[in-house]
Copies of this chain bind each other. A is one copy, B any other.
Amino acid sequence: MAKPAPLSGFPELLPAQRVVEQQVIATLASTFELHGFANIETRAVEPMDQLLRKGDTSKEVYVLRRLQETKDAARDKGLDNGLGLHFDLTVPFARYVLENAGKLEFPFRRYQIQKVWRGERPQEGRFREFAQADIDIVGRDLLPFHHDIEVARVMLDALGRLDFLPGFRLQVNNRKLIQGFYRGLGLDDDAVDEVMRLVDKLDKLSPEQVATSLVAEAGLSDAQAQQCLALATIRATDDSFVARVQALGVEHPLLDEGLDELALLLRGTTGLATEKVRIEADLSIARGLDYYTGTVFETRLDGYESLGSICSGGRYDALASDGRTTYPGVGISLGVSRVLVPLIQRGVVTGDRSVPSAVLVAVADEESRPQADAIAAALRARGIPCEVAPSAAKFGKQIKHADRRGIPYVWFSGTDDAGAATHEVKDIRSGNQVPADPGTWEPPLEDLRPRVSTSSTTEASSTTEASSTTEASSTTEASSTTEASSTTEASSTTTKETDQ
């Protein structure tokens, strides 16, 4: 077998990089649990008719076929009954709720952190396989609006615990507000959808271009088109947007409802704004997917605007219904891979070692391996991750074994003149070596587990050449250093491009 090449769009991480993803997922999970969200996992596959039921094939679904299944059987069965990989976690969750409604307690609050698959053309932050972290709250028949505020708060709490994240902006809007506004302008249902779709392009097209297509494609008058654009330009970090919308002179009961809800949402979340976190009403946000019926969320990461929204969601009042009962929900989904993979590939974050071990237990000769195993067992019994040297090489080589992996301590044992066992532990960073007892010694808490280490993109790009040399020669975790510094070099250009 020749050396295999990576598959574009299917990112994989090296062990020290995976440390970052593991710790991020653990932080998200523990935050969601602090807020009382239960964890579930759904199967990777859904029936094709479920995946396509909105007629939306833009998600580029992966269709499955069993190898042994005859081609005729696969064709006869058709797409409707076939299986595909899920492209998000919301559609499977809605199906899970309907399937298990009799066994769940409502409102049902769950989080779900899983891979999803989309056959899209790969680009930075857009993958064919990626991890998402979703929280949703679903009610039976009714779901009070305070849950819209709650999911925003919970996700802000979670994101706020990821120290290495740059600043970000949570943008909120409300479908009732924009749909009510368009209806107040006299538009019918079809025109409302078309206008929403066109206004959503304001992040790519100029206002003039959008105005032109509103008239040409959606059949609006110039005056109507200008009103739509005026609405879409409104941004505010408090409920002052209400007066500005009202000043446009459009009236509709649905508009009022949307204004009330969005004002409530802003008042319920502004207390969470910090130097790093801005929360704003942005009346241009609509979200492409058509199941949202009220609140919508998007999130932009400072300096990584080209990634698009890293965390999106909203209220969906009719996604899950079995005909008799409807289960309205609200949720928000973080693109874990979308955020992490670019940061990791640019070398902004990495783990400070490639193994969990805090200690390498040295082996003087193969005969004494059982004693080394016993020392390791004593350390593990007190929760200290460690490994035993794989061979009784010279101690210098064993220390190098630890150094290459970023293991901070090496344990040496021997016997004194009286034949009693002696133990010493060496901090290989300082060279400091002290006597130690395998039954009581503990490393400082910060050395117990691998840590996520951060270097800002600015530092990374200004010190590229120097740091890659220095770090490579200091040999701490050679493999990831090489990886990190080579991607840093490659990506410093990318960073500049994105920043502009």
Q: Which residues of A contact B (CB under 8 A)?
A: 1-7, 10-15, 18-19, 21-22, 33-45, 47, 50, 53, 57, 60-69, 79, 83-85, 95-96, 98-105, 107, 109-110, 115, 117, 119, 129, 139, 144, 146-147, 320-323, 354-357, 369, 380, 383-387, 390-391, 401, 404-405, 478-480, 482-483
Query: Closest Cβ of chain B: how far from A408's Cβ, in Å?
Result: 13
Q: List, in ascending order, chain B residues with CB within 8 A of A44's CB.
A: 44, 115, 117, 129
Q: List, in ascending order, chain B residues with CB within 8 A of A37's CB.
A: 355-356
Q: Which of B10, B117, B356 meets A38, CB within 8 Å?
A: B356
Beta-carbon contact of A57 and B62 below 8 Å: no
Known: A14-B40, A105-B354. 7 other contacts (CB 8 A): A12-B41, A12-B96, A34-B356, A36-B356, A38-B354, A105-B478, A139-B390
Beta-carbon contact of B322 and A3 below 8 Å: yes
Query: Closest Cβ of chain B: how far from A265's Cβ, in Å?
Result: 14
In the assembled complex, the Cα of A4 lies from the Cα of B45 at a distance in Å of 14
In the assembled complex, the Cα of A42 lies from the Cα of B6 at a distance in Å of 11
Shortest Cβ-Cβ A-B pairs, 4 listed: A36-B387, A66-B119, A33-B356, A36-B357
Q: List, in ascending order, chain B residues with CB within 8 A of A356's CB.
A: 33-34, 36-39
Q: List, in ascending order, chain B residues with CB within 8 A of A146's CB.
A: 369
Beta-carbon contact of B482 and A119 below 8 Å: no
Beta-carbon contact of A42 and B103 below 8 Å: no
Q: List, in ascending order, chain B residues with CB within 8 A of A7's CB.
A: 43, 45, 47, 83
Q: Which of B47, B96, B129, B383 meets A45, CB within 8 Å?
A: B129
Q: List, in ascending order, chain B residues with CB within 8 A of A321's CB.
A: 1
In the assembled complex, the Cα of A61 lies from the Cα of B67 at a distance in Å of 5
Query: Closest Cβ of chain B: how far from A270's Cβ, in Å?
Result: 13
Please name the residue on chain B nearest to A3 by beta carbon: B322
Beta-carbon contact of B98 and A383 below 8 Å: no
Beta-carbon contact of B15 and A38 below 8 Å: yes
In the assembled complex, the Cα of A390 lies from the Cα of B6 at a distance in Å of 48
Please name the residue on chain B nearest to A407 by beta carbon: B36
Q: Which of B36, B41, B480 meets A103, CB within 8 Å?
A: B480
Q: List, in ascending order, chain B residues with CB within 8 A of A67's CB.
A: 57, 60-63, 79, 84, 119
Query: Closest Cβ of chain B: how far from A19's Cβ, in Å?
Result: 8
In the assembled complex, the Cα of A37 lies from the Cα of B323 at a distance in Å of 50
In the assembled complex, the Cα of A485 lies from the Cα of B304 at a distance in Å of 51
Q: Which of B4, B61, B95, B480 meets A4, CB within 8 Å?
A: B95
Query: Closest Cβ of chain B: how far from A139's Cβ, in Å?
Result: 8
Beta-carbon contact of A66 and B57 below 8 Å: no
In the assembled complex, the Cα of A481 lies from the Cα of B41 at a distance in Å of 20
In the assembled complex, the Cα of A107 lies from the Cα of B387 at a distance in Å of 11
In the assembled complex, the Cα of A323 lies from the Cα of B2 at a distance in Å of 7
Q: List, in ascending order, chain B residues with CB within 8 A of A109's CB.
A: 355, 387
In the assembled complex, the Cα of A423 lies from the Cα of B257 at a distance in Å of 36
Beta-carbon contact of A43 and B105 below 8 Å: no
Q: A63-B66, A98-B1, A390-B147 are contacts. A380–B40 as well, Cβ < 8 Å?
A: no
Query: Closest Cβ of chain B: how far from A368's Cβ, in Å?
Result: 12
Please name the residue on chain B nearest to A479 by beta carbon: B103
Q: Which of B6, B11, B99, B401 meets A3, CB within 8 Å?
A: B99
In this complex, the member of A38, A40, A357, A385 whose beta carbon has the largest number of chain B beta carbons within 10 angstroms is: A38
In the assembled complex, the Cα of A146 lies from the Cα of B390 at a distance in Å of 8
Q: List, in ascending order, chain B residues with CB within 8 A of A105's CB.
A: 354, 401, 404-405, 478-479
Beta-carbon contact of A100 and B14 below 8 Å: yes
In the assembled complex, the Cα of A357 lies from the Cα of B37 at a distance in Å of 8
Q: List, in ascending order, chain B residues with CB within 8 A of A117's CB.
A: 44
In the assembled complex, the Cα of A98 lies from the Cα of B2 at a distance in Å of 8
Beta-carbon contact of A41 and B62 below 8 Å: no
Beta-carbon contact of B480 and A34 below 8 Å: no
Beta-carbon contact of B62 and A39 below 8 Å: no
Beta-carbon contact of A15 and B40 below 8 Å: yes
Query: Closest Cβ of chain B: how far from A88's Cβ, in Å?
Result: 15
Q: Which of B2, B21, B64, B354 meets A62, CB within 8 Å?
A: B64
Beta-carbon contact of B34 and A355 below 8 Å: no
In the assembled complex, the Cα of A404 lies from the Cα of B99 at a distance in Å of 19
